[in-house]
Chain A
Amino acid sequence: MPIQYSGIIEEHNWVRKYAGLFDICHMGEFMVQADLAKSNFGNLVTINLEGMPKGVCRYGFMLNEQGGIIDDLLVYRIDKAEWMVVVNAATSDGDFAHLKKHFTGARSLENVSQTLGKLDLQGPLSADVLESLVGADIKNLKYYTFSYFNLLGEKIIISRTGYTGELGYELYMPNDKIPQLWDKLLSDKRVKPIGLGARDTLRLEMGYSLYGQDIDKNTTPLEAGLGNFIDWNKEFIGKSSLLKQKQNGAFRRMICFLADSRRSPRHNYRIIYKDRDIGSVTSGSFSPSLGAGIGMGYVKDQITLGEQVTLSESSISINAKVTHKPFYKNGSAKSGEIK
């Protein structure tokens, strides 16, 4: 996946208006056969698996004993005891080793990352584009659900999920047919290829965390402001540490900030509040949709919305206001009615 094809801003705006295609084959996928009553699968992720109907996918975490994030992931419930787990590329081998080590009672656990590819089609026109390939049923898919569709002679999983804030789909296709699918989708004039640069600005405008940059094994979901992806009504690895952190209350927290100029905060810039250094920027960029600098980072102080912070590195100093995510509020992702 290159940084850019035609230019980051042009690609970014294309996804917000039409439909963009992302080659995400590097992501990891595991196929899991495990009955929740007979295995400890539920203990290995923070997601409420029990309450997931078939055909639903959910976002959550795999944690270490300290409550640190080993990875953020999606779990798909294919059948009562059949699942697909989708993880980040750089962490996938470690994730698989972690699962193998801690899983008990699974009927099978298979790393299919080498053979299963993935393309993401994202943007308000993505449903229309896919309809011409797989039929009108694609428009019945609700946000965070998936189904099987026939495409290029394969029966593949398509989920209505994504990392851009727009209406969009992730298509899981065997690797050997990915080039064919790529060309097929790009033959539609409404679709353009999108690189890593725009993938980053699109996700940051939504305030989505990037693993390895905003979250990692030394940050907890509570610190990252992602506590709503934890099912507290069950046991899971890392739970006792998170409960302690919750009780203690004093922990760094992720804040989001909007600059008062086009100037972009960047990774590792210091966050200054009332002349004190209170933390550092984890992600920052120029926001093409807002025409201003945006970013997020961890701070040790409690700061309320609307307060002023300064983001700085050597001679650069950017004034910004603490705000809430998403930065970009007109995304089509959750639009209930697709025409």
Chain B
Amino acid sequence: MNIPENLLYTKDHEWAKIEGDKATIGITDFAQHSLGDITFIDLPKPGAKVEQSKWCATVESVKAASDVYAPLSGEVLKANTELTNHPELVNKSAYDAGWFAVIKIADLEEKNKLMNSVQYKEYVQGLSK
């Protein structure tokens, strides 16, 4: 299971990479693996306001449609439009080419509610027990 050290994580298996007042967000390797082949992603639109732990995107796989929740609150600056025609990038590269959106962080304090890579790794290991 790939869990990069420089990211923060939610219990719903989203990740956030904080750089200054911006954050790139996506879903984790664990999430893409559980979903299976991803076939469609409904991304947040630039300009949209997202709220921590609230719905921000929908991911569809052959098996099911799943909601994705924003790891942090903020305004969407850009979305990864590559995923519109190539949603399988999330399966291939969940932390890199498969990013969902970049947001302008509304409240940096919210990062305290997220897990670091060590905590997330323990959390995921606990789930599979």
The digit string for A296-327, where 1 denotes a CB below 8 A from any CB of B, is: 00000000000000000000100000000000
By Cβ-Cβ distance, the 7 closest A-B pairs, closest first, are A286-B39, A262-B40, A9-B37, A8-B62, A263-B40, A8-B37, A264-B60
Contact of B40 among A8, A9, A286, A288 (CB under 8 A): A286
> B-contacting residues of A (Cβ < 8 Å)?
3-4, 7-10, 197, 201, 261-264, 266, 285-286, 288, 293, 316
A264-B65, A266-B65, A316-B65 known; A7-B36 Cβ under 8 A: yes
Q: Evaluate contact between A3 and B63: CB separation under 8 angstroms.
A: yes
**Distance, CA A293 to CA B40, complexed state (A):** 10
Q: Evaluate contact between B87 and A262: CB separation under 8 angstroms.
A: yes
Residue on A with the closest CB to B88? A9
**Distance, CA A4 to CA B34, complexed state (A):** 12
Q: How far is the CB of B122 from chain A (nearest CB, A)?
A: 27
Apart from A4-B36, A262-B87, A263-B40, what are 7 other A-B pairs with CB-CB below 8 Å? A8-B36, A8-B37, A9-B62, A197-B62, A201-B62, A262-B40, A264-B65
Most buried by A among B39, B58, B62, B64: B62
**Distance, CA A258 to CA B28, complexed state (A):** 31
**Distance, CA A197 to CA B42, complexed state (A):** 22
**Distance, CA A281 to CA B63, complexed state (A):** 16
Q: Evaluate contact between B36 and A286: CB separation under 8 angstroms.
A: no
B87 neighbours in A (Cβ, 8 Å): 262
Residue on A with the closest CB to B62? A8
**Distance, CA A286 to CA B39, complexed state (A):** 7
A288 neighbours in B (Cβ, 8 Å): 62
B62 neighbours in A (Cβ, 8 Å): 8-9, 197, 201, 264, 285-286, 288
With an 8 Å Cβ cutoff, the count of chain B residues facing the other chain is 12
> A-contacting residues of B (Cβ < 8 Å)?
36-37, 39-40, 42, 58, 60, 62-65, 87
A262 neighbours in B (Cβ, 8 Å): 39-40, 60, 87
A266 neighbours in B (Cβ, 8 Å): 64-65
**Distance, CA A263 to CA B60, complexed state (A):** 7
Residue on B with the closest CB to A266? B65
**Distance, CA A157 to CA B40, complexed state (A):** 42
Most buried by A among B39, B42, B58, B65: B39
**Distance, CA A197 to CA B35, complexed state (A):** 12
B40 neighbours in A (Cβ, 8 Å): 261-264, 286, 293
Q: Evaluate contact between B36 and A316: CB separation under 8 angstroms.
A: no
A197 neighbours in B (Cβ, 8 Å): 36, 62-63
Residue on B with the closest CB to A264? B60
B58 neighbours in A (Cβ, 8 Å): 316
**Distance, CA A316 to CA B59, complexed state (A):** 12
A316 neighbours in B (Cβ, 8 Å): 42, 58, 65
Q: How far is the CB of B107 from chain A (nearest CB, A)?
A: 26
Residue on A with the closest CB to B85? A262
B36 neighbours in A (Cβ, 8 Å): 3-4, 7-8, 197
B37 neighbours in A (Cβ, 8 Å): 7-10
Can you offer 8 A-B residue contacts whose CB atoms are under 8 A? A3-B36, A8-B62, A197-B63, A261-B40, A262-B39, A264-B65, A266-B64, A316-B42
Q: How far is the CB of A166 from chain B (nearest CB, A)?
A: 18
Most buried by A among B36, B37, B87: B37
Contact of B63 among A8, A10, A263 (CB under 8 A): A8
A293 neighbours in B (Cβ, 8 Å): 40
Most buried by B among A264, A285, A288: A264
Q: How far is the CB of B50 from chain A (nearest CB, A)?
A: 15
A10 neighbours in B (Cβ, 8 Å): 37
B42 neighbours in A (Cβ, 8 Å): 263, 316
Q: How far is the CB of B92 from chain A (nearest CB, A)?
A: 12
